[in-house]
Amino acid sequence: MKHAEESRVLECYQTYKDTVYKLAYSYCKDKSQAEDAFQEVFYKFMKRSPKFKTREHEKAWFIRTTINVCKDTLKSKWNRVVVQLEEWDSDRAFQEGSGDLFDELREVILSLPEKYRVPIHLYYYEEYSVREIAHILHRGESAVQTQLQRGREKIKQSMERSAKYEAESRYLQRSHGEC
């Protein structure tokens, strides 16, 4: 590999490593599968050395390739046969935030069906517009808007159920303490 190509690969790696890993983890919901997808995406980039017109096009390529690699991983025979043995631990993909509320929100987002989880991730974590998400995912803008809306509703419902459950638990604990 020539020095210029190495520099380009390193630059893209530094620029997109977090985006690729977080999206892969969001898609696969498994650390080892996300790491495999991450490596596969950068391997494809090094092998093909695609040329891009703009930085936006370059970032879109990384996102689209990550999604495709994850889809291939999830539909592979190996993935259908292997039982996940690892629990989702503290070494999670989205380590920027902390605290119970952030952890709960992260778990809720990761539990969403793929059609809501991926647009939510691209919109809130990668800060893409609805139009850009529609282009990346090959969906209509109205479909993306609907998926974002329904995803937000599912998140809200789940968070409200959790808050209600916690409030009931605290009430029951106080009630038992007084008896």
pLDDT in tens, 158-175: 888 877 666 666 666 666
- Residue 155 domain boundaries: 96-179
Res 78: pLDDT: 54
The sign of the CA dihedral 85, 90, 96, 98 is positive
What predicted TM-score, i.e. pTM, was given to this entire model? 0.56
CATH number for the domain spanning 56: value is: 1.10.1740
**pLDDT for 94 beyond 50:** no
In a domain, 91, yes or no: no
Q: 20 pLDDT band (50/70/90 cuts)?
A: very high
CA distance 8 to 49: 9
Statement to judge: residues 46 and 114 lie in one domain = no
Res 171: pLDDT: 64
In a domain, 14, yes or no: yes
CA distance 24 to 47: 20
In a domain, 49, yes or no: yes
The sign of the CA dihedral 34, 102, 95, 13 is positive
Domains held by the chain: number: 2
CA distance 77 to 20: 23
Statement to judge: residues 57 and 4 lie in one domain = yes
36-65 pLDDT, tens digit per residue, is 999 999 999 988 888 899 999 999 999 999
Statement to judge: residues 78 and 102 lie in one domain = no
Cα 176 to chain centroid, rounded: 41
